[in-house]
Structure 1
């Protein structure tokens, strides 16, 4: 298929408001894909690249070459070019990546360039996410939608499900069951502003788990073969040998465990989140297609201080003294028995009997909001993210974010100043979108940048802020508009982390817009000292 045809479908889906019409457009495009194009096309139509990391950021998407006058690209060529980009590493990699990116964009027409920018930036907001694509896959393959949805939950990979449906139909989809060694989409939690709200959703009695400030892990064991996957189903087995060792020491032969891994200090408190996250970071991470081969390699790993190399030879732990401790909160499979549909109370009882209390996340059963509030305060005092309130009779709803699990976290907000704004792309093209956020520096009278966000912006806010920031503009670039530091915005965030990217040495985690503050001047914005106090775990003054 020509890449231009897929870009045209994306544009048509963007311009279409009705769900049925969107599904019809997507299904027609899926039916037009060749066997070797299905995985690529399904990823692009859902707004994602097949390669999870490419090394191309916003800066790399500036100063692109003029579009090609005629279309020459097909899907396989585009995917191969992006694959080459993703594999660039070592000395001179930045220049090499820039040259490859320019070569790809030089062959793309204007419409193709727009889609490529959306894919690389993650802002291809065409209203065709996984749920809609599942409907389109079912229609294109002429199979029942529940089969596609169930397969997607078990596989956690829309591309693999699309390939199975379009090449093997219902029979191929039926092969997607919980299989030890193949990750499945994890159950997710809704959010609530308080434990009272959470209990109202789950009912009582309920179980309250400590929400660790770590990384989600799903661990599969079959005999001596062990594989560890992230929430996004990337295989990180070779990155976490201590997790492998902990699970290898368990008595069961077959397991699928759901939990978190976290770096702790000598006192047992969590280390900064980025230290934990860095252990899971992999260039060019592959999903389970590569994981099955790795799992066999890991079976031969030695101690927790070593990690297997690609040929099965143990190599030194790449992260030195930064060790992760695993804690598990659910058991999905035990020695041939699937537990997905069992009530939580049964799964958690089996978990406690299998892994022992040392590896189970902090957990308490509560009957009242007061008891839940006590558990929440204890978790926060211990430096953790908060709690997850769980309904003990609910099954494990893979891939779903239902009311059976509800997370509660302390809500941090800061009043910050907008320093610059980036022009949007995809659905936000023509609007000023991504905000550069700064805290006031009382020593210099200036502002210290803490990061960027476009989260939380409604269409109404996008229209308003485009007009507002063009009024405040002091420098209008093709990509970034720099503005007078006057507009205050209230920002919610999940924490503060160390950052070498920004001059203040810290950055906000998961920043999102709450509202603009017309009642505050820039002189009343929060200071960099307040931000650093949150980072240090001290209450701001």
Structure 2
């Protein structure tokens, strides 16, 4: 298959707002694909993942384009694989020569696509849901079967290849595999604690911790730890590895949270927990990691709330009631605080306890719910005392007064669920500490794609958690809504842009709006 066909399909998908038209265009190409790299390219990443192509290196590459398309998808994929494998002395020159050769064989449109692919600007990562629908259409299989196989494998190109090669039977054969992370089940916002209890019936009410989501896998003595984005962090959390290695089982997959605690048992700032995963958000975090005494303080404590596998038995399709019983058998001393089937006053007491201990709120979960990997349904509902949204940073304005010379006022966007660019919904400069101002001036400046006089426009890849009083109808922004009294809570290095809240979630906060 010619690479030009991928480029043309990508352009057609970007040019339409119709989800159906996007699915049709993608499905038509998937039916003819010669390699899973087709799917990788269309969702905006090389099949090898991040290959280390520097942003400035790619943008500064000027090579006369080819007159006619001749590159194949397989050739592009092989070249990017070779690029990723280059290392050692003289690697910069060899990488530059390889890119120059690849770009010299590409047409102008193909060069533009490659630049955006390698710099993360081909913002089709949010097209994940559309791509899954396209795979189902192309293979003529039920969408739910495709989604389940993808959530268990975590790899969309391989899921597409299985669907096209073996149809529903091949997809149904995908199982939970100890050592391979499963996409996490997510919670939806609840309108109120009472409303969640009434909607879900028999349920458990658990603390919503101010920590980092983890998924741990153990097979014998081997333990692996993954973040919510399925990034492996085993080497950075030896205390968690040793704890899981000591549990009374041979194999287990646990879902939970981990966080650093103060001497009083309250959560330390989120940035400090994330620093253990190599995600430093401010200078203070970096300083703390250099101190031996503070390193001891940053030991992580795990709190598990689900068990997906135990000693050879997969539990994904078992009700939460059974999964919790398995969890208590294997990790009784590390279960997240909460109450099973409380009445409304009892649930309110759990919420009060969570807030008093410095946590975010509670999660209410149906005891009959199966583990819907990768889905944000109504079977789990989070209750927090304030509205927060995870939004994408689109740009940032230079500050004035004491903030002169610093990038200050953030431009915020919500994710388009149909795969378009993020939809701007507001701005804020509130809630930023001096450390965060310094951090975002340095880090956001490094991912700038345009530098107008007022500030910078950035690659839409950084997620920030925003607290707000609500939203209001507004013609100022393209989504028709604007945030009210928005302020920064923290940056979320544990999330990527594909996990940001959608414009539909923002609109659901309008007064009188109904939540599905």
**Superposition TM-score, scaled by structure 2 size:** 0.70
1:22-33 → structure 2 map (5 Å cutoff): 22-33=22-33
In the TM superposition, residue 352 of structure 1 has moved relative to its aligned partner by: 1.8
Flag the 1:517–1:144 CA change in 2: closer, same or farther, 3 A: closer
Distance (Å, rounded) in 2 between the aligned partners of 1:334 and 1:242: 21
Q: Which residue pairs with 1:268 in the alignment?
A: 265
3-state SS, counterpart of residue 351 of structure 1: helix
In the TM superposition, residue 367 of structure 1 has moved relative to its aligned partner by: 4.3
In the TM superposition, residue 368 of structure 1 has moved relative to its aligned partner by: 5.4
1:46-65 → structure 2 map (5 Å cutoff): 46-55=43-52, 62-63=59-60, 65=62
1:234-249 → structure 2 map (5 Å cutoff): 234-249=231-246
Distance (Å, rounded) in 2 between the aligned partners of 1:401 and 1:372: 22
Which one of 324, 331, 351 corresponds to residue 376 of structure 1? 351
Flag the 1:464–1:263 CA change in 2: closer, same or farther, 3 A: closer
Flag the 1:413–1:172 CA change in 2: closer, same or farther, 3 A: closer
3-state SS, counterpart of residue 53 of structure 1: coil
Distance (Å, rounded) in 2 between the aligned partners of 1:258 and 1:342: 15
Q: Which residue pairs with 2:479 in the alignment?
A: none
Q: Which residue pairs with 2:439 in the alignment?
A: 501
Q: Which residue pairs with 1:232 in the alignment?
A: 229
Q: Note if 1:184 corresponds to 2:172.
A: no
User: How many pairs are equivalent?
Assistant: 445
Give CA deviations for 1:65-86 in whole Å, capped at 9, x if unaligned.
Answer: 3661434543334334444665
Distance (Å, rounded) in 2 between the aligned partners of 1:465 and 1:143: 36
Flag the 1:242–1:445 CA change in 2: closer, same or farther, 3 A: closer
Which one of 154, 157, 166 corresponds to residue 155 of structure 2? 157
**Residues 493 and 510 of structure 1 are in contact (CA less than 8 Å); yes or no, is this contact kept in structure 2?**
no
Flag the 1:349–1:3 CA change in 2: closer, same or farther, 3 A: same
In the TM superposition, residue 197 of structure 1 has moved relative to its aligned partner by: 5.2
1:412-451 → structure 2 map (5 Å cutoff): 434-437=394-397, 441=401, 444=402, 446=404, 448-450=406-408
Q: CA RMSD in A?
A: 4.7
98-107 or 240-249, larger mean C-alpha shift? 98-107
Distance (Å, rounded) in 2 between the aligned partners of 1:18 and 1:62: 31
3-state SS, counterpart of residue 176 of structure 2: coil
Q: Which residue pairs with 2:508 in the alignment?
A: none
In the TM superposition, residue 330 of structure 1 has moved relative to its aligned partner by: 0.3
**Residues 413 and 423 of structure 2 are in contact (CA less than 8 Å); yes or no, is this contact kept in structure 1?**
no
**Residues 388 and 466 of structure 2 are in contact (CA less than 8 Å); yes or no, is this contact kept in structure 1?**
no
Which one of 42, 45, 55 corresponds to residue 42 of structure 2? 45
Distance (Å, rounded) in 1 between the aligned partners of 2:216 and 2:24: 38
Unpaired segments of 5 or more residues in structure 1?
283-316, 415-423, 425-432, 467-487, 519-524, 535-541
62-71 or 99-108, larger mean C-alpha shift? 99-108
Unpaired segments of 5 or more residues in structure 2?
280-291, 445-461, 477-483, 492-516
3-state SS, counterpart of residue 188 of structure 2: strand
Give CA deviations for 1:167-205 in whole Å, capped at 9, x if unaligned.
Answer: 3444432320223233222211112465355445x4355
**Residues 379 and 385 of structure 1 are in contact (CA less than 8 Å); yes or no, is this contact kept in structure 2?**
yes
Flag the 1:98–1:351 CA change in 2: closer, same or farther, 3 A: same
**Residues 411 and 494 of structure 1 are in contact (CA less than 8 Å); yes or no, is this contact kept in structure 2?**
no
Flag the 1:440–1:347 CA change in 2: closer, same or farther, 3 A: farther
1:324-335 → structure 2 map (5 Å cutoff): 324-335=300-311
Q: Note if 1:280 corresponds to 2:277.
A: yes
**Residues 259 and 326 of structure 1 are in contact (CA less than 8 Å); yes or no, is this contact kept in structure 2?**
yes
Give CA deviations for 1:398-429 in whole Å, capped at 9, x if unaligned.
Answer: 22110011223454789xxxxxxxxx9xxxxx
Distance (Å, rounded) in 1 between the aligned partners of 2:182 and 2:269: 28
**Superposition TM-score, scaled by structure 1 size:** 0.67
In the TM superposition, residue 221 of structure 1 has moved relative to its aligned partner by: 2.0
In the TM superposition, residue 346 of structure 1 has moved relative to its aligned partner by: 2.4
Q: Which residue pairs with 1:220 in the alignment?
A: 217
Q: Note if 1:456 corresponds to 2:414.
A: yes
Give CA deviations for 1:18-39 in whole Å, capped at 9, x if unaligned.
Answer: 44443332223223322xx21x
3-state SS, counterpart of residue 209 of structure 1: strand
Distance (Å, rounded) in 1 between the aligned partners of 2:463 and 2:123: 24
**Residues 252 and 354 of structure 1 are in contact (CA less than 8 Å); yes or no, is this contact kept in structure 2?**
yes
Distance (Å, rounded) in 2 between the aligned partners of 1:18 and 1:445: 43
3-state SS, counterpart of residue 206 of structure 2: strand
401-410 or 69-78, larger mean C-alpha shift? 69-78
Give CA deviations for 1:136-162 in whole Å, capped at 9, x if unaligned.
Answer: 323433444443233123222212212
Q: Which residue pairs with 1:259 in the alignment?
A: 256
**Residues 341 and 395 of structure 1 are in contact (CA less than 8 Å); yes or no, is this contact kept in structure 2?**
yes
